[in-house]
């Protein structure tokens, strides 16, 4: 059991999942509901000792070849079983995720569905990880095999914790790795439930280990561990930089999925209905707490005023409230993050930006920021740095080159958007925009099968799609001299 009732209260206590067992700790982390500050539950705080235990279990699983030696067909079946078990958790887990993260209940339940689909997608690849044969002439045979890295250490952020665990865990398991997950300390409870899915799906002991602890000790101990074979990190640039420094010591390869400041470019002929619905979803989904959020909209001067007016009407009509009420815009996760967003908006005004709507937190219980639109110059902090909240920066352009310069004028390059009916222009713009993925006429077009990842400070490596599977394998070449 990873849950127990404390005294007579109904509060939840979750534990770590190591080597197929639930492991408690002397210390706990309290998890609060950002909509009202209530305690949602507690989780056992993993300490460096637990990191050692989890890595040892994952290593033993590798040494005994419990995952890597399994017939690919059986790995496929295993991933399908995990998908089914995750789907079965959607009602219970979705409620928990809604409470701890603040997102709408339907979106929280959808995360479990999406997680299940990641496992199904990579189940289909588990028996198709094929090497190639390389001709070397008579007397020699040469071929490549893809082998799993071994122990994959995966550090997860809080904004889509269940879905992001699945995004990295599913391809890692499909390729035969064993995994140690460091779940986010702010939203660990729904992720802890995934341990139940692993037990019910009969995942070999040690193949999946889930730890919750703070980044500075548990996370740092995991990524610095001498016995891990790769690091998959999703989170902020600053943490990614710290992790890369630590990976240097043992020369451990990394995948870095970091932040963004993604821009949409609206050309004069764009379908404005598509622009508004994309800005709505792109900026306000998950209250803007999305790495690939549309955080800037760069609009041709001929349609700028119309776009602005329609955006103001759209953003002003949004309901702001708790996820349990299915509000359009739900709380920011923490007071610290809400204060940071408010400070960035205030600083923008000091730098001469014009706040068109929103801009200050709501004066009520919980951590609520209303949808905000700010007209700002390209060199201001609000137009350069990730806000991670429902704040859209609006900018105007005259020439196409100006649009590209504005869109590419930050240190980030996660996704970008183009709005035009002209297919040639859309393709030209897609090639000019510096980003790992470009959406044309619909923000967030794409899905599990479309590769995703950054350029510049948005990171490197690709998750999702067939390509991501190759993050989790390394090539071995076998060269054979035939005996005569
Ligand atoms: P964060 O960097 O603060 O934390 C992410 C994880 O790293 C947490 O589990 C944390 O405990 C851990 N951590 C912190 N310090 C560590 C250390 N020294 N060593 C090891 N682990 C450590 O990020 P966050 O606030 O949880 O998430 C928001 C950020 O994540 C945003 O910048 C967002 O853009 C980014 N993000 C990126 C993607 C993507 O796919 N590119 C997806 C989601 C979120």
Contact by Cβ (8 Å): 18, 53: yes
Confidence (pLDDT) at 11? 76
For atom 22 of ligand 1, the residue with the nearest CA is 215
Mutate to test the pocket of ligand 1, among 185, 215, 386, 468 (most ligand atoms within 8 A of CB): 215
3-state secondary structure 265-282: EECCCCCHHHHHHHHHHH
Confidence (pLDDT) at 8? 38
User: Which residues have a Cβ under 8 Å from the Cβ of 366 and sit 6 or more positions away?
Assistant: 34, 35, 36, 37, 322, 331
Confidence (pLDDT) at 10? 58
| Token pair 């995966």 in the structure block, residue | 154
Cite the beta strand spans of 52-173 per DSSP E. 140-148, 151-155
User: Which residues have a Cβ under 8 Å from the Cβ of 296 and sit 6 or more positions away?
Assistant: 261, 262, 263, 264, 383, 392, 393, 394, 395, 406, 407
For atom 11 of ligand 1, the residue with the nearest CA is 215
| Token pair 């005994």 in the structure block, residue | 64
The angle formed by the CA atoms of residues 441, 445 and 451, to the nearest 5 degrees, is 130
Closest CA relative to residue 186, chosen from 100, 95, 59: 100
User: Which residues have a Cβ under 8 Å from the Cβ of 21 and sit 6 or more positions away?
Assistant: 205
Contact by Cβ (8 Å): 427, 441: no
Adjacent-strand bridge partners of 42 = 13, 30
Q: Which atom of ligand 1 approaches the CA of 452 most closely?
A: 40
Confidence (pLDDT) at 298? 98
User: Which residues have a Cβ under 8 Å from the Cβ of 399 and sit 6 or more positions away?
Assistant: none
Closest CA relative to residue 191, chosen from 172, 168, 174, 175: 168
Long-range pairs for 249-256: beta carbons < 8 A, 24 or more residues apart: 249/224, 250/224, 250/226, 252/223, 252/228, 253/149, 254/230, 254/461, 255/168, 255/230, 255/231, 255/459, 255/460, 255/461, 255/463, 255/471, 256/454, 256/459, 256/460, 256/461
For ligand 1, the distance from its centroid to the CA atom of residue 367, given in whole angstroms, is 20
Active-site residue list:
257, 291
For ligand 1, the distance from its centroid to the CA atom of residue 156, given in whole angstroms, is 6
| Token pair 């859309």 in the structure block, residue | 426
Q: Which atom of ligand 1 approaches the CA of 246 most closely?
A: 19
- SS3 category, 188: coil
**What digits encode the pLDDT tens for the residues 443-456?**
999 999 999 999 99
| Token pair 């902020």 in the structure block, residue | 236
Task: Report which DSSP code applies to 66.
Answer: T
**Counting runs of H as helices and runs of E as strands, what totals does the chain give?**
15, 21
Q: Which atom of ligand 1 approaches the CA of 167 most closely?
A: 40
For atom 10 of ligand 1, the residue with the nearest CA is 215
Residue stretches of the chain with pLDDT short of 70: 1-10
For ligand 1, the distance from its centroid to the CA atom of residue 157, given in whole angstroms, is 4
Range 135-170 burial, b when 16+ CB lie within 10 A, else e: eeeeeeeeeeebbbbbbbbbbbbbbbbbbbbbbbbb
For ligand 1, the distance from its centroid to the CA atom of residue 208, given in whole angstroms, is 20
Q: Which atom of ligand 1 approaches the CA of 458 most closely?
A: 41
Q: What gap in Å lies between CA 412 and CA 455, rounded to an integer?
A: 7
Confidence (pLDDT) at 393? 98
Ligand 1, CB cutoff 6 Å, lining residues: 155-159, 182, 184-185, 215-216, 219-220, 223, 234-236, 239, 242-243, 257-260, 291, 386, 388, 414, 459
Adjacent-strand bridge partners of 21 = 18
Closest CA relative to residue 169, chosen from 386, 178, 304: 178
- SS3 category, 1: coil
Mutate to test the pocket of ligand 1, among 183, 190, 236 (most ligand atoms within 8 A of CB): 236
Evaluate if pTM is beyond 0.85.
yes
For ligand 1, the distance from its centroid to the CA atom of residue 292, given in whole angstroms, is 14
For ligand 1, the distance from its centroid to the CA atom of residue 258, given in whole angstroms, is 8
Pairing mode, if any, of strands 473-481 and 262-266? unpaired
């Amino acid at each position: 059991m990873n849950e127990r009732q404390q005294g007579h209260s109904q509060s939840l206590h979750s534990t770590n999942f190591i080597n197929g067992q639930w492991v408690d700790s002397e210390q706990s982390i309290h998890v609060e509901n950002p909509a009202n500050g209530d305690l949602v539950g507690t989780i056992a705080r993993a300490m460096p000792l637990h990191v050692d235990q989890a890595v040892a279990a994952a290593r033993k699983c590798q040494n005994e070849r419990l995952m890597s030696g399994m017939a690919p067909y059986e790995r496929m079946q295993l991933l399908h079983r995990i998908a089914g078990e995750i789907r079965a958790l959607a009602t219970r887990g979705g409620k928990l995720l809604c409470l701890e993260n603040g997102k709408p209940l339907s979106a929280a339940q959808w995360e479990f569905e999406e997680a299940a689909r990641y496992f199904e997608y990579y189940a289909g690849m588990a028996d198709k990880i094929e090497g190639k044969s390389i001709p070397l002439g008579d007397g020699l045979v040469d071929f490549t095999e893809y082998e799993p890295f071994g122990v994959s250490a995966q550090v997860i952020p809080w904004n889509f914790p269940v879905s992001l665990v699945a995004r990295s865990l599913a391809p890692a398991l499909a390729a035969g790795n064993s995994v140690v997950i460091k779940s986010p300390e702010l939203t660990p409870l729904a992720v802890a439930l995934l341990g139940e899915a692993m037990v019910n799906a009969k995942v070999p002991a040690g193949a999946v280990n889930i730890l919750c602890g703070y980044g500075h000790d548990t996370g740092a101990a995991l990524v610095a561990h001498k016995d891990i074979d790769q690091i998959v990190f999703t989170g902020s640039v600053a943490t990614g930089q710290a992790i890369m420094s630590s990976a240097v010591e043992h020369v451990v390869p990394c995948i870095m999925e970091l932040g963004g400041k993604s821009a949409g470019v609206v050309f004069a002929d764009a379908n404005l209905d598509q622009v508004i619905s994309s800005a709505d979803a792109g900026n306000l989904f998950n209250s803007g707490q999305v790495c690939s959020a549309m955080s800037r909209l760069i609009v041709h001067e001929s349609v700028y005023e119309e776009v602005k007016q329609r955006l103001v009407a759209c953003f002003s009509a949004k309901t702001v409230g708790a996820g349990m009420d299915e509000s359009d815009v739900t709380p920011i996760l923490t007071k610290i993050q809400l204060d940071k967003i408010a400070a960035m908006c205030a600083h923008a005004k000091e730098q001469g930006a014009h706040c068109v709507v929103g801009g200050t937190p709501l004066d009520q219980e919980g951590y609520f920021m209303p949808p905000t639109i700010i007209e700002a110059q390209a060199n201001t902090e609000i137009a350069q740095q990730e806000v991670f909240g429902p704040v859209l920066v609006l900018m105007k352009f005259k020439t196409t080159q100006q649009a590209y310069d504005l869109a590419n004028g930050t240190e980030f390059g996660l996704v970008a958007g183009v709005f035009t009916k002209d297919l040639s222009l859309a393709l030209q713009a897609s090639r000019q925009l510096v980003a790992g993925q470009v959406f044309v006429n619909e923000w967030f077009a794409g899905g599990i099968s479309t590769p995703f990842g950054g350029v510049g400070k948005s990171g490197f490596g690709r998750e999702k799609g067939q390509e991501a599977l190759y993050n989790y394998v390394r090539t071995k070449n076998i060269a054979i001299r035939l005996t005569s």
